[in-house]
Structures are given as structure tokens and as C-alpha cells.
Structure 1
Amino acid sequence: MIDDVAKECLHSELREVREVLVRKLDGLGEYEIRRPLTRTGTNLLGLVKHLALWESRYFGEVFDRPFPEPLPRWDDLGQRGTDLWATGHETREEIVGRYRRAWAHSDATIAALALDAPGHVPWWPRPRVVLVNVLVHMLTETGRHAGHADILREQLDGSTEAATGQRDEAFWEARRDRIEQAAVKYARTERGLDG
């Protein structure tokens, strides 16, 4: 009984954070969702593409339930990192569609297996896992990337998931200034400049 409750709780959280991530693309043009916003090239559509691949892999081949579409080999060093950005030939619709198909495949795996169902993750140091390990891992990974997407989206147009329509620009400017003042004060105190 507790396993069913735990599985539904984890699965529900995963479903929710997936949707949060995809919503970050809403209202943005093709350039905005693809453009590199960090030194390493992190971008919104690339995060979606990355999670589509890894969710397909984790809930697919790890449990001997292969995703029905071709995936690059996990051990192909030449392919490393190519899942983090969209090529000029890949459309938003293709990438988001693949992610949604990965969800359906993953959801079927999660529904079909018990939390203690065995799997094998050859790229992990301890490759023998059970479904709960992978479910927690993908929830954590998806949440981490949704957080990245929050920051990227805020950089692009100032919107945030939590603050949509709740605060005006003056509120955010005042908050940022207050945080900046606190950081400066702490730094000055640390260096012995404030008494």
C-alpha cells in the first residue's frame, strides 16, 4: 500500500515538473528558445531535448523496455552534449513532441512496474537499480533543469513561474536593490570595512 502511495506521489511530481519545463517555451520565438544564454550554451529548447533523450533512456532501456524511436548510444563520445541544443533542422514541435512521447512511454513503464522492479544503468558506478531509484533520479534531474529553465526564461523576458502577474517591475527592482545592498554590506563587513 505504501509503495502505491509513494509511486503515485513521485510520478505525480514528475508529471507536474515536466509541464512546468515545457511551459517555459510558451510565447517565445524560435531564436529565443534556441539561443545560448550561458557560457556553456544552455538554452530552453536544448533542456527539453536533453530530458526527452534521458527520460526515454532511463525508463526504456534501463528496464528492458526500449523506447520505440532511435536513440544515440549512451557510450558514443562523439554524440555527448548534442542532446543539449537543437540543430537548424529540428523544430520546436518535433522536440516537444518527442518529449511528450517519452512521457507516455515512461508513464507506461512506471505504471507497469513495481517500485522494486530491477533495472540496469550501465553508465552508473553501481548499475543495479530498482524503479524507485530511477524515478527519484529523473524527478531530481527534471526539477534541476526546470530550475535552469526558470532562470533562462527570466533572463529572456523577466517572466517567472511563481510571479506571473503577481508583481510589477517596481516590486522586482526594489527587491533586487535590497538584495544587492545586503550583499554589499556583508562583503564590506567581511573585509572589515564596516564596524
Structure 2
Amino acid sequence: MIDDFAKGYLHADLREFREAVLWKLDGLGEYDVRRPLTPTGTNLLGLVKHLTLWESRYFGEVFGRPFPEPLPRWDDVEARGTDLWATERETRADLVGRYRRVWEHSDATITALDLGAPGCVPWWPRPEVTLFAVLVHMLTETARHAGHADILREGLDGSTGTGAFSAGPRPDAALLAQRHARIERAARAAGA
């Protein structure tokens, strides 16, 4: 009973964070979803591509249910890091579509297996896992990257929130400037 409740709860949260990540792309042009916004190159479409690859691995090959489309292997040294950005030949529609197909595949795995179902994560120090551990891991990773996407999007156009339902009117620019200045003064005073 509690396992069904826990699985449903965690799965619902995973679905919500997935949607939040994709919502961060809405209304932005190709350059803005792809451009590097941190010194390490973090970008919105790269986060989608990264989550696609890892979710396909965790809910696919870890449980002997590989995702049917070709993706780089986890141990392919030459492919390392290429999941964090989109090439000029990879379209937003293709990457988002693949992410949604991975969701379907992952959801089928989550639905079919019990939380105690065994899996193997060969790249972890303790590779023997359960669906519960992987579900918590992917929920954490997706939430973490949704937070990254939220900050990136706010930096692009001031948009915040987890979806259209939570997005309110953007605060007045003067109010934001006042808040920013107040926080800056507090930080400088604390640092003195």
C-alpha cells in the first residue's frame, strides 16, 4: 500500500519537473535556448538533451529495458559532455520530441516494476540498485536541472515559475532594481 502511494507520489513529482524544464523553452528563439549562459556553457536546450540521455539510461538499460533509439553509451569517452549542448543540426523539435519519448519509455518502466525491482547502474560505486533508488535519483536530478533552467530563464527575460499556471505578471523593473540594490547593500555591509 505505502509502496504504491510512494511510487505514485514520486512519479507525479518527476512528471511535474519534466514539464517545468520544457516550459522554460517556451517563447524563446533558437539562439536563446542554445546559447551558453554560464562559464561552463550551461544552456536550456542542453539541459533537455542531458536529461533525455540520463533518464533513458536510468529507466532503460539499468532495468534491462533499453530505450529503442540510438543514444551514446555511458562509457563512450568521445561522447562525454556532448549531451550538455545541442549542435546546429539538432533541432529543438527533435530534442524535445525525444525527451517526451523517453518519458513514455520511463513511465512504462516505472509503471511495470515494483519499487523494490532490482537494477544495475554500472557507473555507480555500488551498482546494485532498486527502482526506488533510481526514481529518487532521477527526481532529484530533474528537480536540480529545473532549478538551473529557472535561473537561466530569469537571466534571459525575467521569467520565473514552474509552468504557465504559476507565472504571474513580471514585477515592475523599478521594484526589481530597488530590491536588487537593497540586497546588494546588505551583502556589502555583511562583507565589510
Q: Does 1:179 align with 2:165?
A: no
Q: Write the letter of the residue equivalent to 1:106.
A: S
What's the counterpart of residue 46 of structure 1? Answer: 46
CA distance in 2 between counterparts of 1:176 and 1:59 reads: 42
What's the counterpart of residue 66 of structure 1? Answer: 66
CA distance in 1 between counterparts of 2:169 and 2:117 reads: 44
SS of the residue aligned with 2:168? coil
What's the counterpart of residue 126 of structure 1? Answer: 126
Q: Does 1:31 align with 2:35?
A: no
The 4+ residue runs of structure 1 with deviation greater than 6 A are none
Q: 2:63 touches 2:120 (CA, 8 Å); kept in 1? A: yes
CA distance in 2 between counterparts of 1:164 and 1:39 reads: 30
State the structure with more CA Rg: 1
CA distance in 2 between counterparts of 1:163 and 1:27 reads: 13
Q: Write the letter of the residue equivalent to 1:172.
A: L
Q: Give the percent of matched residue pairs that are identical in Structure 1 and Structure 2.
A: 71
What's the counterpart of residue 159 of structure 1? Answer: 159
Q: Write the letter of the residue equivalent to 2:91.
A: T
What's the counterpart of residue 168 of structure 1? Answer: 172
CA distance in 2 between counterparts of 1:53 and 1:96 reads: 12
- Ranges in structure 1 where 5+ consecutive residues have no aligned partner: 189-195
By how many angstroms is 1:158 displaced? Answer: 1.2
What's the counterpart of residue 82 of structure 2? Answer: 82
SS of the residue aligned with 1:124? coil
- Ranges in structure 2 where 5+ consecutive residues have no aligned partner: none
What's the counterpart of residue 91 of structure 1? Answer: 91
CA distance in 2 between counterparts of 1:133 and 1:39 reads: 32
